[in-house]
Amino acid sequence: MFLVATGRGAFVSATGTVVRADGDLALVPDDHLGPDFDPTVEFPSDSPTLIRLEPHLPTSIGDRIEAIGIWSGVALRTKRLLAAATARASPPQIPASARSRARSAPLPTSLERELLETGVITGRLPLGDGRVEVITDDPERVARLLGPLYGTRLVVTRSTFSRADRDLATEVVRLAESIGVLCGVGFEATPSKPADLAMTLDVPWVPEQIARAAAPVPDGLLIVRSHVTVMDVRA
């Protein structure tokens, strides 16, 4: 996969709520505004969820803004501040039919949990009609292990990505944690195979090390979301 690194001197933008961090101004991106978020509370400056702002252009604590400027390597050297264009999105609502299917879906067995933990199964999706789809790069083995539990209700699908591919993606996540840019990690359904989960990695910006480590990861396996966006054209 190809990632654009947030290089020193890049023209960038970031959106969030203004807070104070050890005396400096910083942005908290919308993804990290929890229910108890209080912009008047002082934040630690080394928090990976913060985007530091330099210099202090006129703004107020609690303002939701878009900052545009030059990336210094550790902070955004602000050239312009704009009122953020849109409000924070509400969490998506789960349809009642989907909630009903989820309540009636068979829970993972202890064997399935073990296979998920060891990576033999990389995804599991109740299909709503009593069947369960599992994703694996070893379909014969999984069919042999889970067939006696589910019979004809078991749907085994070969994973788009191998375990070696997933190990590469996991190494990118570990690298992000080791260099202090890990904001969040999770999984997201892929459009073609909803049970075949892609990994998600949230970072404040994309260091060169992350871009290089992600290069051998197959497209579609790892979704990297950066709070600092490199802009193609100067505004």
Same CATH topology for 11-83 and 163-227: the answer is no
pTM: 0.78
Sequence length of the chain is 235
Q: Please compute, for residue 204, the number of CA atoms within 13 A of its CA located in the half-sphere on the CB side.
A: 24
Q: Strand pairing partners for 82?
A: 66
pLDDT for res 156: 94
Between 63-72, 99-108, 166-175, 189-198, the lowest mean confidence (pLDDT) is in 99-108
Give me the CATH code for the 163-227 domain, please: 3.30.300
pLDDT for res 91: 47
For the cut 60, the answer to whether the pLDDT of residue 98 exceeds it is no
Instruction: Give the CATH number of domain 11-83; options: 3.40.50, 2.40.50, 3.90.70, 2.60.40.
Output: 2.40.50
For the cut 90, the answer to whether the pLDDT of residue 225 exceeds it is yes
Summarised one tens digit per residue, pLDDT across range 126-138 is 887 889 999 998 9
d(CA 26, CA 24): 7
The DSSP symbol for 43 reads: B
List the domain boundaries for the chain: 11-83, 98-158, 163-227
CA distances from 77 to 5, 13, 21 (A): 17, 10, 16
d(CA 90, CA 157): 34
Q: What is the mean pLDDT of residues 108-135?
A: 88
Q: Provide the pLDDT confidence category of residue 106 given band limits of 50, 70 and 90.
A: low
Q: What is the mean pLDDT of residues 213-218?
A: 96
Give me the phi and psi of 151, to 5 degrees please: 60, -130
Among residues 73, 78, 48, the alpha carbon closest in space to that of 63 is found at 78
Pairing type for strands 154-158 and 132-136 reads parallel
Q: What is the mean pLDDT of residues 90-112?
A: 59
Q: What is the mean pLDDT of residues 20-27?
A: 88
Element counts in the chain: helices (H) and strands (E): 5, 12
Spell 222-231 as b/e; 16+ CB within 10 A means b.
bbbebbbbbe
Summarised one tens digit per residue, pLDDT across range 34-64 is 888 888 888 888 888 899 998 767 788 999 9
- Mean pLDDT for the chain? 85
Would you say the C-alpha torsion 122, 217, 171, 211 has a positive or negative sign?
Answer: negative
Q: Which amino acid is at 21?
A: A
Spell 5-35 as b/e; 16+ CB within 10 A means b.
bbeeebbbbbbbbbbebeebbbbbbbebeee
Q: What is the mean pLDDT of residues 153-158?
A: 92
